[in-house]
Amino acid sequence: MSNDALLRELIDAGVAGLTVSWADNNGIPRSRTVPIRGLHAAGETGIGVTSLFAVFDSSDAITFEHPGLSTPSGDTRLVADLSRVVQLAGQPALAWAPGNLVAADGSTWPYDQRGVLQRVVAELAGTGLTALAGWEIEFTVERDGEPGHHGPAYGPAALTEIDEFVAAVLQDFAANGLAINQLHAEYGPAQVELSLDATDPVSAADDQLLARQTLRAAARTHGLTLSFAPLPSLSHAGNGWHLHTSLWRGAENLLTGGPDGPTGEGASYLAGLLRDLPAVAAITAPSLGSLARLRPGFFAGAFAFWGVENREAPLRYVPGTDFLGQERANLELKVCDASANPYLALAVTLACGAAGIAEGLTPPAAYGTDPGTWDESDRAARGVAALPSTPDDQEAALAATPRIEGVLGSDLLSAFRAVRRSDAAAARDTTQDDVLGGLRFRY
Ligand code: GLU
Ligand code: MG
């Protein structure tokens, strides 16, 4: 459809504005809304946005500690991807589109997270590879500050308490072009999960942002408040946003393997991701809430290892079967949550995995149990270490591999680290309860 036809169709449908959204270095969605007559301009020259969004921290404070963005001066353009415009089913006066941030002269801006993922996807294509990706989304549902449902976990009874919301989610996701794979009452108090079908990486990240907006609108309509935070409070279960990926050469899924794991290049993809997992986790589970979520025994993936269908493993291999189709094989990254920028999360996951293919790496042994139940000496003997559990650990992990900087570029990585330091400094004199409380409704 031409952009003229798109504009006419949206106006005829009663759309008054276009919201263009991106995600910052805290995984927080940000946006600008223009009257719908501004659609062409939003897609061509974009909307003015301060360059300082690259150094916003999780509580909207601006850090000036990254040398490239250390003054109040500077502007960028937020260019809408008009191929992705949808009229929002739950907010029908608005259309929505993801955007790229470009420099004021239209050139590439080094802090554009969506552009980073687009570049990684193009580089994969240059080596004959494509990827599929899909997120699981866990969240907590409240009504007037009380639990939105009372279980039982996985019970249809729990969902009857939020029946109108669930119906709206199913309808609005379909109308917004988001393919839900399944939905259920999750294990934790008042927790719900839905998963999205796998699609190409940039669409998967776009869809993850659109899913947040769609969920929030449905919740508002039905009097609910949602928390997407990695750990809404110490008495909640963690909200993991597990990321499933598979890598393909043409019609061949490289993750296809057997009950013992992937073979060949699929095994090397897994090995590459495992090699850099501490640094990858610093991008895919970056916030103070992420660190609080990573508790052993909570299926969040606290130790760096992999397993076949092992729910305690941060890298869980999901084999295909003849029953389901061998092409369904994929690798689940559990150490990922809503405080990750979805574009950066996918970019580092795919790039570190692909580096394993380029170098022909072989993965270490898989484990089928929970290393959190082993002695420290057993973990040491098997080379299984805890993933970063403090901001200092994250800094060290990021510094220990050249590959994250290779993906993000030095400017974006430096801004990202400055933002993490700003969060850590703000938390220094507060309690963990207050930190988690401050993050509860940010994502
Ligand atoms: N809620 C868990 C987490 O923090 C995941 C539970 C599950 O395996 O679905 O990631
Ligand atoms: Mg789950």
Query: Which residue's CA is minimally distant from atom 5 of ligand 1?
Result: 299
Same domain flag for 158 and 94: no
Q: Is residue 323 helix, strand or coil?
A: coil
Last residue of a domain, one of 84, 112, 140: 112
Query: Which residue's CA is minimally distant from atom 7 of ligand 1?
Result: 299
Distance 189 CA to ligand 2 centre (A): 13
Residue 140: pLDDT band (50, 70, 90) is: very high
Q: Looking at residues 131-139, what average pLDDT do you find? A: 98
**168-208: pLDDT as tens digits:** 999 999 999 999 999 999 999 999 999 999 999 999 999 99
Query: Which residue's CA is minimally distant from atom 9 of ligand 1?
Result: 299
**Which residue from 299, 316, 333 has its CB within 8 A of the most atoms of ligand 1, so it is best to mutate?**
299
Taking Cα atoms as reference points, which of 316, 189, 241 lies closest to residue 27? Answer: 241
SS (H, E, C) the chain: CCHHHHHHHHHHCCCCEEEEEEECCCCCEEEEEEEHHHHHHHHHCCEEEEHHHHHECCCCCECCCCHHHCCCCCEEEEEECHHHCEECCCCCCEEEEEEEEEECCCCECCCCHHHHHHHHHHHHHHCCCEEEEEEEEEEEEEECCEECCCCCCCCHHHHHCCHHHHHHHHHHHHHCCCCEEEEEECCCCCEEEEEECCECHHHHHHHHHHHHHHHHHHHHHCCCEEECCCCCCCCCCCCCCCEEEEEEECCEECCCEECCEECHHHHHHHHHHHHCHHHHHHHHCCCHHHHHHCCCCCCCCCECCEEECCCCCCEEEECCECCCEHHHCEEEECCCCCCCCHHHHHHHHHHHHHHHHHCCCCCCCCCCCCHHHCCHHHHHHCCCCECCCCHHHHHHHHHCCHHHHHHHCHHHHHHHHHHHHHHHHHHCCCCHHHHHHHHCCCC
Last residue of a domain, one of 112, 139, 170: 112
Same domain flag for 278 and 399: yes
Name every residue whose Cβ is closer than 8 Å to that of residue 109 and which is 6 or more positions away in sequence.
51, 76, 101, 102, 103, 115
- State the pTM of this model: 0.98
Q: Looking at residues 130-141, what average pLDDT do you find? A: 98
The pLDDT value recorded for residue 155 is 98
The pLDDT value recorded for residue 29 is 98
Last residue of a domain, one of 112, 141, 158: 112
Residue 336: pLDDT band (50, 70, 90) is: very high
Same domain flag for 62 and 124: no
**Which residue from 135, 287, 298, 436 has its CB within 8 A of the most atoms of ligand 1, so it is best to mutate?**
298
Same domain flag for 198 and 148: yes
Distance 277 CA to ligand 2 centre (A): 20
Q: Which atom of ligand 1 is nearest to the CA of 238?
A: 4
Q: Looking at residues 43-50, what average pLDDT do you find? A: 97
Ligand 1 pocket residue status of 298, Cβ below 6 Å: yes
Ligand 1 pocket residue status of 316, Cβ below 6 Å: no
Q: Looking at residues 265-292, what average pLDDT do you find? A: 98
Q: Which residue is listed with tokens 């935070």? A: 229
Q: Looking at residues 40-65, what average pLDDT do you find? A: 97
Do residues 286 and 27 touch, judged by C-beta distance below 8 A? yes
Distance 299 CA to ligand 1 centre (A): 5
- CATH number, position 403: 3.30.590.10
Residue 258: pLDDT band (50, 70, 90) is: confident
Same domain flag for 93 and 123: no
Same domain flag for 52 and 19: yes
- CATH number, position 93: 3.10.20.70
Distance 151 CA to ligand 2 centre (A): 14
- How many whole angstroms separate alpha carbon 46 and alpha carbon 105? 11
CA distances 291 to 1, 24, 302, 413, 420, Å, are 45, 19, 9, 19, 12
Do residues 267 and 258 touch, judged by C-beta distance below 8 A? no
Query: Which residue's CA is minimally distant from atom 8 of ligand 1?
Result: 299
Ligand 1 pocket residue status of 299, Cβ below 6 Å: yes
The number of beta carbons lying within 10 Å of the beta carbon of residue 225 is 16
Phi/psi of residue 405, each to 5°? Answer: -65, -35
The pLDDT value recorded for residue 200 is 98
Same domain flag for 100 and 171: no
- How many whole angstroms separate alpha carbon 43 and alpha carbon 79? 5
- How many whole angstroms separate alpha carbon 271 and alpha carbon 126? 21
Give me the domain span that covers residue 259.
119-439
Tell me the percentage of the chain whose pLDDT exceeds 70: 100
Same domain flag for 60 and 166: no
Q: Which atom of ligand 1 is nearest to the CA of 337?
A: 10
Ligand 1 pocket residue status of 337, Cβ below 6 Å: no
Same domain flag for 256 and 278: yes
Quote the number of domains for the chain: 2
Phi/psi of residue 245, each to 5°? Answer: -130, 155
CA distances 274 to 94, 277, 364, Å, are 42, 5, 9
Read off the DSSP letter of residue 387: P
**28-38: pLDDT as tens digits:** 999 999 999 99
Ligand 1 pocket residue status of 238, Cβ below 6 Å: yes
Q: Which atom of ligand 1 is nearest to the CA of 242?
A: 10
Same domain flag for 176 and 102: no
Same domain flag for 134 and 43: no
- How many whole angstroms separate alpha carbon 122 and alpha carbon 114? 12
Distance 335 CA to ligand 1 centre (A): 9
Same domain flag for 367 and 407: yes
Distance 93 CA to ligand 1 centre (A): 35
